[in-house]
């Protein structure tokens, strides 16, 4: 009974991982699902395909681990955040494709709310900006565009959810409609101070409250799975949005502790404890995973093009055949030789927030080679992350706290030692890579382990987290500052077009 099953419902695939009681990975299974791009700027998923792929991986992971369902003590769910689905409570069928977090179709509604002067209220209550990224305007769009949806919603026949709620509904055979605070905090409808849906914001978005799931702490017994699905009725004991789950899985439970996930993009979060901090440096405030009803927060910033720049080297420039070759190519030169690559392919996110910016390679000379460009590409991931961390540290200091003193890392690109060393060099702080880099799934499993009594508390989990490698900064602070200044100059060139 001492195993935990994490369901990790991501943007491009559904994965399931079985962990043992000491947080060691026992078995995993993964399935990709279809991405739909019906119009420029629109991104959709088939929620039924997501559910089927998630269920299949859960069964496969349990089988690969050689376990019976009864050996699983509890299930933790973690998910791509903000992605919005609306379904019929009677049939359990979605009434439209899920609108994915990347989808930009609701910019006109966001602009209208901004023009009407509502942004300050949304910021204050939710910690977010009025941006199509978040769920609220996506839900409003569905109610306004799917024929009959609003009438059905008002009759109480529909249910809204992010992917966690959708999976819980399906797993419990339509018995439970619930979410956790960390997912709710990404919807633009949730008051993160009171931990409850906000009627004023719902009215501004024209959304009936009867659509919304119940909100609980992230470590909580959400319900039991229907016994026919996995071979036994299992407890669902934890839910958190994937970035907050990663923060939790990294053991970042206290103010000032930060993690960066180096995936396609990068997501950096810094815990701020029980204090809601408003960034003056372009970051957003979000609810951290919570183990009780006491609110806890994090500051968050994201880099749009992180590991994706390596994919561009591979697929766009044909400079490498596989992503793992980038390290050898970049290491074949001692430095980038003055080349700076700003991968503003889709504009720049925090702390720059410039949707119009486009990419650039600057500082080329006759001696520049593909190796210099590859090195500059890799370094761009660290430069963008460093700009985020500096913004976070400035916010922390402005709020009377300390600058970040250590960065915990995970995600597909954190295996790159050259990148991690350069990150430590730029930041001037330790960069620490844990033994288990599947921290998102681990975080969800830990939440389920806490609510099911497998773990006594956060101290036990802190003790379990182990570093695999520590990258100590080796560059002089003068040189690091010079490089950051060079980077900022290159960024300005991409913006001033």
Ligand X SMILES: O=P(O)(O)OC[C@H](O)CO
Query: Which parts of 52-81 interact with ligand ADP (CB under 6 A)?
Result: none
Q: What are phi and psi of 85, to 5 degrees?
A: -130, 145
Position of minimal CB gap to ligand ADP:
412
Binding of residue 243 to ligand X (CB under 6 A): yes
CA angle 485, 263, 248 (to 5 degrees): 100
Q: Considering only the stretches 68-76, 166-174, 195-203, 324-332, report the one whose residues sit in contact with ligand ADP under the rule CB under 6 A.
A: 324-332
CB atoms within 10 A of CB 453: 10
Q: Is 170 in the site for ligand ADP (CB under 6 A)?
A: no
Q: Least Å distance between CB 376 and ligand ADP?
A: 13
Q: Which does 82 bind (CB under 5 to 8 A by kind): ligand ADP, ligand X, none?
A: ligand X
Q: What DSSP string describes 115-151? A: HTT-HHHHHHHHS--S-TTSHHHHHHHHHHHSTTHHH
Tokens at 152, concatenated: 């059905």
Contact predicate 451/220, CB 8 Å = yes
Give the residue from 123, 121, 161, 351 showing the smallest Cα distance to 241. Answer: 161
241 or 307: CB nearest ligand ADP: 307
- Out of 263, 301, 449, 473, which residue is the one contacting ligand ADP (CB under 6 A)? 263
Instruction: Label residue 21 left, alpha or beta by phi (over 0 means left) and psi (-120 to 50 means alpha).
Output: alpha
Q: Does 411 bind ligand ADP (CB under 6 A)?
A: yes
Q: Indicate whether 311 belongs to the interface with ligand ADP (CB under 6 A).
A: yes
Q: Please identify, using beta-carbon distances, which residue of 243 and 416 lies nearer to ligand X.
A: 243
**Residue 82 CB, nearest distance to ligand X (Å)?**
5
Tokens of 178: 């619930």
Cα–Cα–Cα angle for 452, 170, 239, nearest 5°?
Answer: 35
Torsions phi, psi for 396 (to 5 deg): -65, -45
Q: Segment near ligand X (CB under 6 A), from 27-35, 43-51, 80-88, 207-215?
A: 80-88
How many Cβ atoms from other residues are within 10 Å of residue 168's Cβ?
Answer: 25
438 binds, among ligand ADP, ligand X, none (CB under 5 to 8 A by kind): none
Window 223-252: residues binding ligand ADP (CB under 6 A)? none
In the complex, what is the shortest distance from the CB of residue 325 to ligand X, in angstroms, rounded to a whole number?
A: 23
Partner that binds at residue 102, options ligand X, ligand ADP, none, CB closer than 5 to 8 Å by kind:
none
Q: 82, 103, 277, 296: which one contacts ligand X (CB under 6 A)?
A: 82
80 binding ligand X? (CB under 6 A): yes
Specify the residue, 81 or 433, whose C-beta has the smaller distance to ligand X.
81
CB 237 within 8 A of CB 222: yes
Q: How far apart are CA 270 and CA 406, in angstroms?
A: 11
Nearer to ligand ADP, 194 or 324 (CB): 324
270 contacts ligand ADP (rule: CB under 6 A): no
CB 128 within 8 A of CB 284: yes
Q: How many CA atoms lie within 13 A of 24 on its CB side?
A: 4
Q: How far is the CB of 381 from ligand ADP (least distance, A)?
A: 8
> Which range touches ligand ADP (CB under 6 A), out of 119-127, 144-152, 308-316, 360-368?
308-316
Structure tokens at 166: 């959708």
Please choose, out of 69-77, 157-165, 238-246, 470-478, the segment that lies near ligand X by the rule CB under 6 A.
238-246
d(CA 17, CA 5): 6
- Chain positions contacting ligand ADP, by CB under 6 A: 10, 12, 263-264, 307-308, 310-311, 323-324, 326-327, 411-413, 415-416, 419
């Amino acid at each position: 009974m001492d195993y935990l099953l994490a369901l990790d419902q991501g943007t491009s695939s559904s994965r399931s991982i079985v962990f043992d009681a000491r947080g060691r990975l026992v078995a995993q299974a993964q399935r990709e699902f279809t991405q739909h791009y019906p119009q420029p700027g629109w991104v959709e998923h088939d929620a039924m395909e997501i559910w089927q792929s998630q269920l299949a991986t859960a069964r496969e992971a349990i089988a690969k681990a050689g376990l019976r369902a009864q050996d699983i003590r509890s299930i933790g769910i973690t998910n791509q955040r903000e992605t919005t689905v609306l379904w019929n409570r009677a049939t359990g069928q979605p009434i439209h494709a899920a609108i994915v977090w990347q989808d930009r179709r609701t910019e006109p509604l966001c602009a209208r709310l901004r023009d009407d002067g509502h942004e300050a209220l949304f910021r204050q209550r939710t910690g977010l900006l009025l941006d199509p990224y978040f769920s609220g305007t996506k839900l409003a769009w569905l109610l306004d565009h799917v024929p009959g949806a609003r009438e059905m919603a008002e009759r109480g026949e529909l249910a809204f959810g992010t992917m966690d709620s959708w999976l819980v509904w399906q797993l419990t055979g339509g018995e439970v409609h619930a979410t956790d605070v960390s997912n709710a905090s990404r919807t633009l409808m949730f008051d993160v101070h009171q931990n409850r849906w906000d009627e004023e914001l719902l009215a501004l978005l024209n959304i009936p409250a009867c659509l919304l799931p119940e909100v609980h702490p992230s470590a909580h017994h959400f319900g039991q799975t229907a016994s026919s699905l996995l071979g036994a009725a299992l407890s669902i004991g934890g839910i958190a949005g994937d970035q907050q789950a990663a923060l939790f899985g990294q053991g970042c439970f206290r103010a000032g502790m930060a993690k960066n996930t180096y995936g396609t993009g990068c997501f950096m979060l810094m815990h701020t404890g029980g204090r809601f901090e408003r960034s003056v440096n372009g970051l957003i405030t979000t609810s951290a995973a919570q183990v009780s009803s006491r609110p806890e927060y994090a500051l968050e910033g994201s880099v749009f093009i992180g590991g994706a720049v390596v994919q561009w080297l591979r697929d766009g420039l044909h400079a490498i055949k596989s992503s793992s070759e980038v390290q050898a190519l970049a290491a074949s030169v001692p430095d980038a030789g003055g080349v700076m690559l700003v991968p503003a392919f889709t504009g720049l996110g925090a702390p720059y927030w410039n949707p119009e910016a486009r990419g650039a390679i600057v500082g080329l000379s006759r001696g520049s080679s593909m190796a210099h460009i590859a090195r500059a590409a890799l370094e761009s991931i660290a430069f963008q992350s460093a700009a985020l961390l500096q913004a976070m540290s400035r916010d922390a200091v402005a709020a009377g706290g300390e600058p970040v003193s250590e960065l915990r890392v995970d995600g597909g690109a954190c295996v790159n030692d050259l990148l991690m060393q350069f990150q430590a060099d730029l930041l001037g702080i330790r960069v620490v890579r844990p033994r288990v880099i599947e921290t998102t799934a681990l975080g969800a499993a830990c939440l389920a382990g806490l609510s099911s009594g497998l773990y006594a508390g956060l101290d036990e989990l802190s003790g379990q987290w182990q570093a695999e490698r520590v990258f100590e900064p080796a560059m002089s602070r003068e040189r690091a500052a010079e490089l950051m200044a060079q980077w900022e100059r290159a960024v300005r060139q991409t913006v001033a077009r």
